[in-house]
């Protein structure tokens, strides 16, 4: 899996106006994606919707 350059929180805010595009995948079945004001919100949803855990990858939304 390819690693993308991680931007600083300030850089990310400047690019997205404070919003990150977080794509989360559950271990097993189920995927969802949404824009969050912080990655913490994405991981909260990850824990809420994925009983088996999973992972979130947060980047700036596509233009």
Three-class DSSP labels, the chain: CCCCCCCCHHHHHHHHCCCEEEEEEECCCCEEEEEECCHHHHHHHHHHHCCCCEEEEEECCCC
Q: Report the chain's mean pLDDT, rounded to a whole number.
A: 68
User: pTM, whole model, 2 decimals?
Assistant: 0.44
Task: Answer yes or no: is pLDDT of 47 > 60.
Answer: yes
Task: Answer yes or no: is pLDDT of 9 > 70.
Answer: no
- pLDDT (0 to 100) of residue 25: 79
Q: How far apart are CA 18 and CA 37, in angstroms?
A: 6
- pLDDT (0 to 100) of residue 1: 41
Domain-by-domain residue ranges, the chain? 9-59
Mean pLDDT for 16-38 is 68
- pLDDT (0 to 100) of residue 49: 73
Do 21 and 61 form a contact (C-beta atoms < 8 A)?
yes
Do 39 and 20 form a contact (C-beta atoms < 8 A)?
yes
């Amino acid at each position: 899996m390819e690693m993308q350059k991680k931007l600083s929180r300030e850089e990310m805010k400047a690019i997205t106006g404070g919003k990150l595009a977080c794509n989360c995948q559950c271990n097993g079945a189920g995927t969802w994606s949404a824009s969050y004001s912080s990655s913490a919100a994405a991981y909260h949803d990850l824990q809420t919707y994925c009983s088996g855990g999973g992972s979130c990858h947060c980047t700036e939304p596509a233009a």
